[in-house]
Structure 1
Amino acid sequence: MTDDRIQTSDDRTPTGSDRTPTGGARTAPSAPADDARVRAWVREDFGIALDRLDRVADGADEAATLWRGTAADGRRYAVKLSGGGSPAGLVVTARLADHGLPGIAAPVRTRRGGLWSEHAGARLTLVPWVSDARALDDGAMDAELWVAYGELLGRVHATPVTDELARALPKEEYRHEGLTAFVRDVDQRLRAAPPPAADAHHRAVAAEWGAAADRVARLLERADALGVELRARPAAPLVVCHGDPHLGNVLCGGPGRVWLIDWDDAVLAPRERDLMFVLGGVLYFAPVGPREQRWFFEGYGAVADPDPDRLAYYRTVRALEDLAHPAVQAADPDRWPEAERVAALEIVRGVLSPAGLVEQALA
C-alpha cells in the first residue's frame, strides 16, 4: 500500500482545480494502480468488497482514472483515483445531497467518516453509479430533461454559502497565469522544428497549431485584457458553481430527472461561470441552441442579462484549455496510446472548427 492516510472533508484545504483559470498542466498519480490494488484499497478504506472493476474510458481528465465497480449485492459505484483538481467538489456534493437536493450523488464515506482516502499520491473516491444514460447520447435530452437540468443548476446556484463551503471552495479571481505559461510552452514546442522521432500525429497537430497561431495569440491577449478589466471591477456576487456543467457531465435518470456529476472543478464564482456552458455551449459537436436555452431557463428561472465580459473571459480561458491539453496529448507518443492521440487530434480540429470554441471566444 502506497499511502494509508484517510482524509475527511475538514482535513485539508483544497489547493485549486485543474479547470479553474489558474490551471496549467495536470498532475497524474505518482504511481499507476492496478485493478487488484484498487479493489483492496476500496475494501480497506470504505468497507465495500467489489466483485468486479471495469475501467471507464469516458472523460478528458488526464490526471484521473475511473472505474465502474460492482459489489456482490449488485450495487455499482464510480471509483476514481484523481491526482488533479480539488477535493472541494466532494464537500459540495456531500452537503447538497445531505440537504436533499435531487440529482446530486453523495460520495460514499470512508469507514472513518471521510470523503476520500489517499493512495499513490492521489485521492480515491467512491460515488454511487447512478445511471448509464448520458445526456450526450442522441435524442437523450428532451424538453422535460432540459427543464430539469435548469432547475438543478438553479438550485445549486441558490445554495447558501456556509463557512464550510467558503473555506473549501476556491474563489474566482480571474487569474490564468498558469494556463498562459502552459499555452506558451505548447506554442513554443509545436512551432519549433519537429524532433527526429516526430510521427504523423505530431506533425499533424503541429500543422493545426501553426495554422491557428494568430488566433491563439489573440486568445491570450483577450484573456489578459479581460482578466485585468474584471479584477478592477467591484466584486460580483459569488455562488456555488459546478465549474464544468457541459452535457458530458450530465446523466439522464428517467423522465424529468437528471444527475450532475464530476464536481472536481467546483468553485465560488459569478453564475456566468456555469451559464457559459448553456449560452452557446463549449462542445463543438453538441452546441446548445436557442430552443434548448429556452427550455433550460424555464427550469433555471429568469436571469438579468448575463455579463458579456465575464462570459467572454470564461469562453476565452476554456478555449485555450480545450486546445492546448489535447494538442499535448496528440504530440506525445511516449505517454499516450495511439487511439487517445487520434482522439486528441480530432478534438484540436473540432475546437478550431467554425463551430468550435475558439471561434465563439473570438466572435
Structure 2
Amino acid sequence: MIDDAAGQVTGWARTDFGLDLTDLDEVTHGADQHARLWRAHAADGTRYAVKLSGGGTPAGRVVAAHLAAQKVPGVPAPLRTHDGRLYGDHGGHRLSVVPWVSDLRALDGPMTDAHWRAYGELLAAVHAVPVTDELVRLLPPGGAAYPEIVAATRATAERLRAPGPADPAGPPFAELAALWSAMADRVSTLTGAVGRLAADRRDRPVVVCHGDPHLGNLLLGPNGQVWLIDWDDAVLAPPECDLMFVTDGVLAFAPITTGQRAAVLAGYGRVDIEPARLAWFLAVRALDDLTDWTRQALDPDVDAADRARAARIVRGLVSPVGLVTLADAAVRSLDRPD
C-alpha cells in the first residue's frame, strides 16, 4: 500500500529513476533513526528497496556500486538516476534504490553451513577489492570517532551517577543508573584500552570494510547464497573491523557458535587476526553501542516503545554474551600470559 508519507517518495522514484511503484511497505526493524526504508513493488512486478536518508554521507552508495562493478558476489548494485547519480537529492534527503534480493534476514534464519561459509567468502571478496583514490577520499578510517565515543561514554556515566534536575526520576533512569554502576569496572577497562590501543589499528594495511556486517544486514537465498546490504557505515580499516562480527558475534541475541565461526573463517580463507586490533574494534563498538542505546532509552523525545527497546538492548549488551562482556574479555586477555 502507499500511505501519505510514502506518496511523495513514489513521485520522487518516478522522477529520479523512472520507476512506477505501485506498493510500498515500510520496513521498521532498522536502527538508523535518520532513515526510512520501504519494500516497493513496481508495475512490472520487480521489487526494490527504497531508502530515504537524512543523515550521514552518500559514501555507502558509492562503495556498493564500486563493489558490484568489481563483480563482488552478494552486493546488490544501486540503481542510477536519469542523470547517472546514485541517489536523488530532495531537500537534504537522499533517495536511493537497490533491487530487493531477499525477504529472509540471517537473523531470522535458519542459516546453513553453506550460508556461513558464503558469509566468509563475501567478506573476503570485499576485503580483496583494491582501495581507489575515490574511496580514500570518501571513506573515514574505521573507529576514527573513538575520542568522541570515549568522551560520550564518560559523560553518560557521570550523568547516571549524579543526575541533574532535568533528568527523570524513577525507571528507566534508575534501572540504567544501577546497571552502569554495576559495570563501572568494565566500562573503565574499555575506555582505558581504547586510548591505549589506538595506535595498533594503524599497523596493518587498510581494506574496504562494511563496518556493520552483523546478521541483520545479511540476507539469505537458496543454496547458500547471501547478500550484504546497508553500506552506510563503510570504512577503511584493517580486516578485524569486520571480522569481529564473525569471531565474537557482537549481537547478544545472536551469539556465534564455535561451528559457525569455523565455517565463516573457512570461507574467508587464510587470515592472521591480530588480538590487539580485534580487541580495540570490539571495545570501540561496545562503548559506542552502550552509550548510544542508553541515550535513546533516556530520550523523552523518542517513542515509548523505542525507548523500551533501547533499554532491552542495553541489558543485552552487558549480559554474559553481550558485546560489553566480549570486549572486556578480549581486552583483559591481552594482559594475560600465554
Which TM-score applies when normalising by structure 1? 0.84
Residue in 1 that maps onto 2:319: 353
Q: 1:114 is aligned with what amino acid? A: R
Residue in 2 that maps onto 1:324: 291
2:112 corresponds to which of 142, 146, 167 = 142
2:160 corresponds to which of 152, 172, 190 = 190
How far did 1:174 drift? Answer: 5.0
Residue in 1 that maps onto 2:149: 179
Alignment RMSD: 2.0
Residue in 1 that maps onto 2:191: 220
CA contact (8 A) 1:239 1:268 kept: yes
From the superposition, tell whether residues 54 and 216 of structure 1 become closer, same or farther in structure 2 (CA, over 3 Å).
same
SS at match of 2:223: coil
How far did 1:34 drift? Answer: 2.4
From the superposition, tell whether residues 75 and 191 of structure 1 become closer, same or farther in structure 2 (CA, over 3 Å).
farther
Distance in 2 between residues matched to 1:202 and 1:41, nearest whole Å:
42
From the superposition, tell whether residues 313 and 196 of structure 1 become closer, same or farther in structure 2 (CA, over 3 Å).
closer
SS at match of 2:264: helix
Residue in 1 that maps onto 2:335: none
Deviations 1:184-242 (A, max 9, x none): 33223333336475463333333323333332222211111111x427x6x41111111
Q: 2:115 is aligned with what amino acid? A: L
Q: 2:281 is aligned with what amino acid? A: Y
1:310 corresponds to which of 258, 274, 277 = 277
SS at match of 1:125: strand
2:207 corresponds to which of 239, 250, 275 = 239
Residue in 2 that maps onto 1:17: none
Distance in 1 between residues matched to 2:170 and 2:39, nearest whole Å:
34
How far did 1:357 drift? Answer: 0.9
Unaligned runs of 5+ residues in structure 1 are 1-32
SS at match of 1:77: strand
Residue in 1 that maps onto 2:103: 132
Distance in 2 between residues matched to 1:330 and 1:188, nearest whole Å:
16
From the superposition, tell whether residues 206 and 274 of structure 1 become closer, same or farther in structure 2 (CA, over 3 Å).
same
From the superposition, tell whether residues 197 and 316 of structure 1 become closer, same or farther in structure 2 (CA, over 3 Å).
closer
Distance in 1 between residues matched to 2:47 and 2:258, nearest whole Å:
37
Same amino acid, percent of matched pairs: 53
Does 2:247 correspond to 1:276? no
How far did 1:111 drift? Answer: 1.3
Residue in 2 that maps onto 1:252: 220
Distance in 1 between residues matched to 2:162 and 2:10, nearest whole Å:
44
Distance in 2 between residues matched to 1:355 and 1:172, nearest whole Å:
24
Distance in 2 between residues matched to 1:303 and 1:134, nearest whole Å:
27
How far did 1:173 drift? Answer: 6.9
CA contact (8 A) 1:174 1:230 kept: no
Distance in 2 between residues matched to 1:166 and 1:196, nearest whole Å:
42
Number of residue pairs aligned between Structure 1 and Structure 2: 325
Does 2:26 correspond to 1:55? yes
How far did 1:108 drift? Answer: 1.0
How far did 1:154 drift? Answer: 0.7
Q: 1:121 is aligned with what amino acid? A: G
Distance in 2 between residues matched to 1:196 and 1:130, nearest whole Å:
45
Which TM-score applies when normalising by structure 2? 0.90
Does 2:58 correspond to 1:84? no
How far did 1:172 drift? Answer: 4.0
Q: Write the mapping of 1:32-181 to structure 2, written as runs, cut at 5 A.
A: 34-138=5-109, 140-172=110-142, 174-181=144-151
User: Which structure has the highest helix share of the two?
Assistant: 2
How far did 1:270 drift? Answer: 0.7
CA contact (8 A) 2:70 2:129 kept: no
From the superposition, tell whether residues 74 and 192 of structure 1 become closer, same or farther in structure 2 (CA, over 3 Å).
farther
Distance in 2 between residues matched to 1:289 and 1:123, nearest whole Å:
38
CA contact (8 A) 2:142 2:211 kept: no
Distance in 1 between residues matched to 2:319 and 2:174, nearest whole Å:
19
Higher relative contact order (CA 8 A, sep 6+): 1
CA contact (8 A) 1:108 1:125 kept: yes
From the superposition, tell whether residues 173 and 211 of structure 1 become closer, same or farther in structure 2 (CA, over 3 Å).
closer
Unaligned runs of 5+ residues in structure 2 are 330-338
Distance in 1 between residues matched to 2:162 and 2:89, nearest whole Å:
39
